[in-house]
Amino acid sequence: MAQRLTPDFPVPAHVAVIMDGNGRWAGRSGLLRARGHEEGAAAVRDVTEAAAEWGIRHLTLYAFSAENWQRPAAEIGVLMKLLRRYLREERRTLLEHGVRLRALGRLADLPADVRELLAESEQATAGGERCTLRLGLSYGGRQEICDAVVRIAEDVAAGRLSPGELTPGMIAARLYDPGMPDPDLIIRTGGEVRLSNFLLWQSSYAEMHFTPVLWPDFRRGHLLEALQDYHRRVRRFGRVPESDPAVR
């Protein structure tokens, strides 16, 4: 009998994924980049379902960066079309798995009908209690921090806040989703070793897992490998671990 794929150790509360490598996946087989993006949807489904089943409370997927607007209009069109399809077709599966959907980013930049579909999906899945799935859409970490700084400047100008009182917590409270905990683990597929403007503020103590697997090939087995890698890490947060024998 095939072994059931499931972690036998505590899972992190928040896993975030930079879903990269769709274009290369397609190119490898002589297909158009659009096919790679299309195949990426199967990976999104499997990883989301596994996250909900395994008790990962927060899953954040980087789907479209603020910088991705610089891609050819035709590719952006394909990505928006696939996003519409995903939002229409996956709503039921999300509901069945107790997944609450939220969007993270400069949503005003998205086409109006996509914004509407997002709002409908967010509303329909608001009761999902197993896992919160956040999609990074028109998301940029620097833009997010900049937007928070604008709100702080407004509070200062209006006399609601004095500059000397500013704390990191006040900045965190003005990010796109203040209810989102910092990611414990950030996974990047596709072999590049960089953040590409993802969760810059929130990633300060995240563990990083980089894999050469291209996103359309990524499945729950790869997620399990990343969780195993995470489980072996010692998170110190700047402190000395209490188990250190040299501490007296």
Any idea which residues carry the catalytic annotation?
A: 20, 68
Q: How many CB atoms lie within 10 A of CB 150?
A: 11
Q: How far is CA 49 from CA 53, 85, 104, 134, 219, in A?
A: 6, 18, 20, 14, 10
Closest approach, Cβ 205 to ligand IPE, in A, equals 21
Q: Which of residues 174-193 bind ligand IPE (CB under 6 A)?
A: 190, 192
Q: How far is the CB of 118 from ligand IPE (least distance, A)?
A: 16
Kind and range of the H or E run holding 30: none
Q: 81 Cβ partners below 8 Å, 6+ apart?
A: none
CB nearer ligand IPE, residue 11 or residue 63: 63
Nearest distance from C-beta of residue 102 to ligand IPE, angstroms:
16
Nearer to ligand IPE, 99 or 187 (CB): 187
**Interaction between residue 63 and ligand IPE (CB under 6 A):** yes
One of 13, 53, 55, 68 touching ligand IPE (CB under 6 A): 68
**Per CB under 6 A, 79 contacts ligand IPE:** yes
* Alpha carbon distance 210, 236 (integer Å): 20
Question: Considering only residues 12, 38, 59, 65, which one is a binding residue for ligand IPE as defined by CB under 6 A?
Answer: 65
- By CB under 5 A, which span of 15-23, 149-157, 200-208, 209-217 interacts with Mg ion? 15-23
Under the binding rule (CB under 5 A), the answer on residue 188 touching Mg ion is: no
Q: Does 20 bind Mg ion (CB under 5 A)?
A: yes
Q: How many other β-carbons are positioned within 10 Å of the β-carbon of residue 224?
A: 16
CA distances from 120 to 86, 124, 125, 134 (A): 13, 6, 9, 15
DSSP 8-state symbol, 180: P
Closest approach of Cβ 30 to Mg ion, in Å?
18
Burial of residue 206, with CB atoms counted within 10 A of its CB: 0-12 exposed, 13-18 middle, 19 or more buried: buried
Tell whether residue 22 is a contact of ligand IPE (CB under 6 A).
yes
Look at residues 163, 159, 80, 69 and name the one whose alpha carbon lies nearest to residue 117: 80
* Contacts with Mg ion, residue ranges (CB under 5 A): 20
Query: By the criterion CB under 6 A, which residues form the site for ligand IPE?
Result: 18-24, 62-65, 68, 79, 190, 192, 194, 196
